[in-house]
Every structure is written in structure tokens, then in C-alpha cells.
Amino acid sequence: MNCSGYFARLAISPAALIVFVLAVHEARGESARPLPAALPSHPGNVFLEGEEIIVPMPGGAWQLLDADDRVIAAVDTADEKAALGKLPVGFYRLRRENSEGDWVSLAVLRPLRVPTPHTSPVAVDVAMSWFYPPEKMPAVANLCALAGVNWVRDRLAWREIEPRRGVFAEDTRYDAAAEAQSAAGLKVLQVNHSSPEWANPDHRRFPLDLRDCYNFHRHIAARWAGKVSAFEPWNEADIQVFGGHTGAEMASLQKAAYWGIKAGNPGAVACLNVFASRNRAQLEDIRANEAWPYFETFNLHHYAAFDAYPSLYADFREVSGGRPLWVTECAMPLRWSGEEAKKELSDEDLKEQARRLVKVFAGSLHEGSRATFYFLLPHYVEGPTQFGIIRPDLTPRPAYVALAATGRLLADARPMGRVKHDRYRIYGFSAMPDGNQRIVLVAWSDQGAGPYSLPETPNESYDHLGRPLPPAKDVELTASPRFFLFERQPYAANDLEPPPSPPEALSGRPCPVVFQAVWPESATDLKQSAYRIPANEAQIPVYVYHFGEGTASGKVDVNVPSGWTSELPPRAQLQPGERLEWQLRLLPPQDPGAGVHTIRISGDFGELGKAVLSFRVIVVQDAGK
């Protein structure tokens, strides 16, 4: 066969090339994962199908209920344990007879037949370091591995790692978490939340000197090489609780962190410091700073209603530079009820949390996420909202069992499209459940139960908890998602709405020279991602850094709106690790006009590349405002 024409047509787009390179980059040097096994102590009362189930229990008369609250056995625990024999896959609770009080839960999971693929998008935010002492960490990591999770997200406080500039603590809880999670075969994403006081007295805000950011990320990337695979330099910097930074400030931090991560471990994934919101001004601001060469994944969070997903993801895709989307927090959370001490979901909301988890993954993956981290594994409450899918004693809520079903059945999932239907939501994926290439449909109804005829009888069928169902062509769809597995695509192309196309991958290479503007938070309009400056004259501190090797020397230009005047040194020369402190003098015209104005500083440093700083200003006529 003459294949020359075929290969000529295989011109790889930049977007496809980035995805391919990232997949190779992620798997580089990684050994095959072992199949996870339940620990002998069965932490959290989590068992694998086929195991004898024995649960420590207070003495008395109990009832065993399934996930649908049907009583399936009476249990006598006179010897302070419940011997339940072998149970099928599912979520179960033990409740005292004639009591609606507290309960003890357990889960039975289908054992993984093959290791979770290193490119599977199913992930979970564990916050291991902050929620669990080192002695519990291996048990929690095991629960993640049993659920078919690929990535886990941890969290750190910079000040605990580097209490003084250049002085690093040893044997911290973060080291224990990295060891426990990597030993369980999990890929770890780490994120920082704050500055130490020595770097910025306001710990919510970025370090004042970006060399501190560079040095810290260089250290942790090297320290945890082989254990932590990816880094987010900051958590939700775009909102007030984590500093309230402009897109320009986020871009400058990103550039410094990128060079630090790569200096510490060239194989680590440098993620974007993650967005919490989709404020258009901040998104446009970071794009104007040409930050895309400095991140390998575009990271975002959302807690939106399901119907908002298409527009939400479209906004982020537009400014992603064509980099893969990672959703490192997401959920459609519910409020706890009942006793304040327990902060537990109601029985109905426990079921609803499990249903929503599957829907979140289906919707996110359809929109193009390459890694979706559900928030959150541990028991965690913010105000009236309960996020966790396991309880404080590690025992499961139904949503944990739904996570395990998703991890197995949507292993390595890639979106194929959505079935065109007025009533039902039916999403198709190419996936690798149990190591077999399959088309997996995830289907449910938001408009009440109703009949649906599949194009053909599936090879396998499961409910949202991974419980097997008899394969059938004619099914009933309800609010509880179902998984249908086929050996080939059962739908014709015109029956499907294709998933959103990834944007064009923008070209560019990172420059080790980085510009940074610094302006008081109190004089920042976060909604506009802009600095408020006086009408007469503004002196804005601008810092120039060199994070590369050799002397950096280049021409610097300032582009301002028509009628404005600016003053800044026309050239910069720096040695490695040097920082220049400049003052940008801005003089607006007498009538600058209302709204936002953009200031752009660019530097051409020859072979080292081009540096860009773009920031937005609003002229305030009354300087006292």
C-alpha cells in the first residue's frame, strides 16, 4: 500500500502536538503502576468484591442496608464485629434496629483488572497534608488508588517549608504526603496558597520579590522529584481570599515560577496558577501578557450549575493558548443538615452527591478537560456546605463509590460527543475500562424517568455506583447516571454533537527575563483587573529579573495610549539572578477618557527571547479616591 498520501494528510496541529508532548512528558520515567490491593486493616471499611467483610461494630442489633436503603440483612454484633460474608459491589450502611440515628458505612468496589493509565483524566483533590496526620496518609492514598484515581491534589503553606529565606525545613508533613501518595502509585499535583511573612507581610499576596518565588519552586521541584509530578504556583490568586491579583500580576508570578520549576526538575509539569472565577478582565489581562509559553496546563476551578459548563469552559478555552485544560477543583456541592456536630448530608442528599459526582466528570470531560479533580475527598465544610465524599473516620459516603465507578469505567476517557436529544443527557467517551478499548456512554435524565432505546444492546451496563445491570437495548433513564459499554461506536456521526474543538495552540518560547509591576491592592480595581492611578502623574514600580544564564541585554519599549507620555530606561542589562528596580512614569492627557487603558512594556533580549508586561490602568480624577 502506498501510504505517502495518508501521512501527508497527518499534519499535526500545534494543539495536538502539545497534548501529545504533555502525555509523553507526564509518563517519562514512570514505571508501570502495580494493581492496588486493599490494605489488611481495610481502612474506611472499604473492601474489594470477593473479600470476606468483617466490620468492627458496637454490640447490639443492627440492620444492613444497601445504597437504596433497602434492608438486606439483620446483623447481631454481640462480639463487637459485623461478619457480613461477601457482598456485591455497592455502598452499604449498618443502622441500629428501630433507629434513625448514626450509622456505619462500608463500600465494596470492583477490583481494578489493570493499573490506572497514566493519562487517565479522573482525579481528586485530597489535600492530604492538611487533613491527615502522617500515620493515616498511606490509608487515604490507598483509598484513592482503589478508586482508580490517576492524579491527586495536595496543598502546602510556603512558610512551613521555608520559614526563613533560604532556610528549608526537613521532614515536614508535605514530605510525608508526597511519599505516601507516590508510594501508592498516585501522581501528585501540589499547590501553594500563601507567602511567608518574610516574603510579604500580607501572606495572601504574592512575594514582593519574584526571586523568592523562583527559588522556592526550584527547591520543591528538586526536593520532590519522582514524587510530585506537577505544581500550581498559587491557588485562586484572582479572588480576594487568596490575594486578589490582577491578570498581569498572575502572569508575572507564573513566569518566575515556571523557570524555578524547570530549574528544579525539568520533567515536572508547570501548571498555570489556577483561576477561581471567569472574570473576563482578568482572563484578557493574563492573555495580553503572553503567558502561554510559561504553563503546560491551563488550570481552572468551578462550582457552577451543570448548564453553565459550555459557556464557562468556552471562556477559559479562549485564553488557554491551546494548552490542555486541567480542572483542579470542581463539584456541584450540597448543604449538610441535622446535627451541627456531624455536619452530615441528609439521606437523600447523600444519594444526590453521588449522582452529581458522575455528572460533573461527564460534563467536564466532554468540555475537554484532560484532568478533572473532584473537590473533595476528605470531610470538609465551608459554612453550610459539605464537600467531602468520605467521613472523618475515612468511611465512605456513596459519592466515594461513584468515584470508584468513574475511575474504572472512564479510565483514559476522551470525549466523542453528545447524543442529540431533547430530554436526555447522553455523553460518549472513548475509554479503557478494565484495560479494554470501549465506547462508554454516560446517560441520565433531568426531566423525570423515561424510556430510551439505545441503538444496540451494550456489552455491559452499570449504575452510577458501578453496580452491574443486565445489558438491554431498551432502558429507563432517571436522575441517576448509567454507564453503557460498547465495543464500537453505536451512533452515526449525525446523531452526535461533537465535543468542543480545542483552540489553536499559540506558539512562543519562554524568555528568562521577566517584568513585574507592583501596585497597592487598595488601589486596584479587581473587577477591571486594573490599577487606579491619579490623573496628574503616576510612578509605578517596575522590576526586571533575569532567571536564565549569561548576561541578558536588550532594548525596552513602552507602548501607551495616544496622548499619554511615559518614561522608562530604554535598555536593560542583567546578570543571572539580578533584579533591577525601575519607576515607570506615566502622564495621562488632560482628558484620558473613561474606562480601562492598557500599558505595554516589551523587551527584546536577542537569543534569550522577548519579554512582555501588559497591565491595565484606570485614571482617577480625584486622587483621594
The dihedral formed by the CA atoms of 107, 412, 129 and 181, expressed in degrees to the nearest 10? 80
Does 284 fall in a domain? yes
**Number of independent structural domains in the chain:** 4
| CB 497 within 8 Å of CB 585 | no
Rounded CA gap, 171 and 134, in Å?
A: 11
For residue 221, the model assigns a pLDDT of 99
Residue 573 CA to its chain's centroid (Å): 38
For residue 390, the model assigns a pLDDT of 99
Same domain, residue pair 222 and 166: yes
Same domain, residue pair 279 and 234: yes
Rounded CA gap, 459 and 436, in Å?
A: 12
- Which residue among 497, 530, 547 closes a domain? 497
| CB 259 within 8 Å of CB 512 | yes
- Which residue among 74, 108, 142 closes a domain? 108
Within a 10 A sphere around the Cβ of 432, how many other Cβ atoms?
21
For residue 154, the model assigns a pLDDT of 99
Does 508 fall in a domain? no
Q: Residue 259: which CATH number?
A: 3.20.20.80
Does 582 fall in a domain? yes
Same domain, residue pair 491 and 517: no
Same domain, residue pair 308 and 320: yes
For residue 22, the model assigns a pLDDT of 53
**Helix/strand/coil (H, E, C) string of 488-508?**
CCCCCHHHEECCCCCCCCCCC
β partners of residue 61: 76
Same domain, residue pair 94 and 123: no
Rounded CA gap, 547 and 550, in Å?
A: 10
Does 503 fall in a domain? no
The residue written with cell numbers 460498547 in the block is: 486
Does 5 fall in a domain? no
Same domain, residue pair 427 and 392: no
- Which residue among 57, 81, 108 closes a domain? 108
For residue 530, the model assigns a pLDDT of 99
Q: pTM of the prediction?
A: 0.95
Domain that holds residue 86: 43-108
Angle subtended by helix axes 137-146 and 173-183, to nearest 10: 30
Same domain, residue pair 281 and 427: no
For residue 6, the model assigns a pLDDT of 26
Rounded CA gap, 218 and 339, in Å?
A: 46
Consecutive sets of 10 residues in the chain, 625 residues long: mean pLDDT of each?
Answer: 30 44 49 91 99 95 97 93 98 90 95 98 99 99 99 99 99 99 99 98 99 99 99 99 99 99 99 99 99 99 99 99 99 97 97 99 99 99 98 99 99 99 98 99 98 99 99 99 99 98 96 98 98 97 99 99 98 99 98 96 99 98 59
Query: By CB neighbour count within 10 A (0-12 exposed, 13-18 middle, 19+ buried), where does 16 fall?
Result: middle
Tens digit of pLDDT for each residue in 605-620? 999 999 999 999 999 9
Same domain, residue pair 478 and 531: no
- What three-state secondary structure class fits 45? helix
The residue written with cell numbers 528544579 in the block is: 264
Within a 10 A sphere around the Cβ of 482, how many other Cβ atoms?
21
Q: Residue 604: which CATH number?
A: 2.60.40.10
Same domain, residue pair 270 and 370: yes
Does 556 fall in a domain? yes
Apex 90 CA angle, 84 and 93, nearest 5:
55
Same domain, residue pair 406 and 419: no
Does 9 fall in a domain? no
For residue 8, the model assigns a pLDDT of 31
Same domain, residue pair 64 and 163: no
Does 357 fall in a domain? yes
Rounded CA gap, 241 and 344, in Å?
A: 26
Same domain, residue pair 461 and 406: no
For residue 288, the model assigns a pLDDT of 99
